[in-house]
């Protein structure tokens, strides 16, 4: 291992880059970056530091309940923009629905979840097993809300 390479890794990790990003910048394998960081005690942000605990332009530091509320409000605003009337439960146990929306006389239930892109850009979803909701709305930082199954936009 050359000292200049180790110094470059140390600097990039100090700037908050993770090993995959460092590897791309230095044109080396990410496994090699992990090995160097481990052997030299170089700290880098862990995945849990990066996963969006909250969504939109709001930053980390909120409790997960607040993050979930923000995600629900972003989905509600998007549904309102699409012409839905939106209702939110005020009880703790909402039976798997975060939001209920109506349009043209049809009620649709929504489960709102946060999602993120992994290092390769693949979408990572946290799907709640057994949710009875008609539609799952996934909120990814900086991206349009993803609805599964897709909604027909008015």
Which range marks the domain in which residue 24 is found?
A: 3-50
Q: CB of 54 within 8 A of CB of 66?
A: yes
What's the pLDDT tens digit per position in 47-74? 544 444 444 434 455 666 777 788 899 9
CA–CA dist 117, 72 (Å, integer): 19
pLDDT band, very low/low/confident/very high, at 150 (cuts 50, 70, 90)? confident
The count of structural domains within the chain is 2
56 inside domain? no
pLDDT score at 61: 56
The pLDDT of residue 131 is above 60: yes
pLDDT score at 139: 87
Cis ω before 149 (30° cut-off from 0): yes
Q: Are residues 37 and 73 in the same domain?
A: no
Q: CB of 60 within 8 A of CB of 53?
A: yes
More confident residue, 122 or 82: 82
pLDDT score at 47: 58
Average pLDDT over residues 89-95: 71
Backbone angles phi, psi at 123, to 5 degrees: -70, 130
pLDDT band, very low/low/confident/very high, at 84 (cuts 50, 70, 90)? very high
Residues 6+ apart with CB under 8 A from 71: 54, 55, 112, 113, 114, 139
27 inside domain? yes
24 inside domain? yes
CA–CA dist 100, 62 (Å, integer): 25
């Amino acid at each position: 291992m050359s000292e200049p390479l180790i110094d470059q890794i140390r600097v990039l990790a100090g700037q908050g880059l993770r090993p995959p990003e460092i590897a791309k910048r230095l044109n080396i394998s990410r496994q090699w970056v992990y090995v160097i960081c481990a052997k030299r005690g170089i700290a880098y942000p862990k995945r849990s530091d990066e996963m969006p605990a909250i969504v939109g332009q709001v930053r980390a530091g909120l409790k997960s309940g607040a993050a979930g509320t923000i995600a629900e409000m972003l989905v509600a605003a998007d549904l309102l923009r699409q012409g839905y009337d939106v209702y939110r439960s005020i009880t703790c146990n909402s039976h798997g629905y975060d939001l209920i929306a109506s349009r043209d006389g049809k009620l649709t239930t929504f489960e709102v979840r946060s999602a993120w892109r992994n290092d390769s850009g693949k979408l990572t979803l946290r799907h709640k097993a057994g949710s009875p909701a008609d539609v799952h709305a996934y909120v990814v930082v900086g991206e349009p809300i993803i609805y599964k199954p897709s909604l027909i936009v008015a």
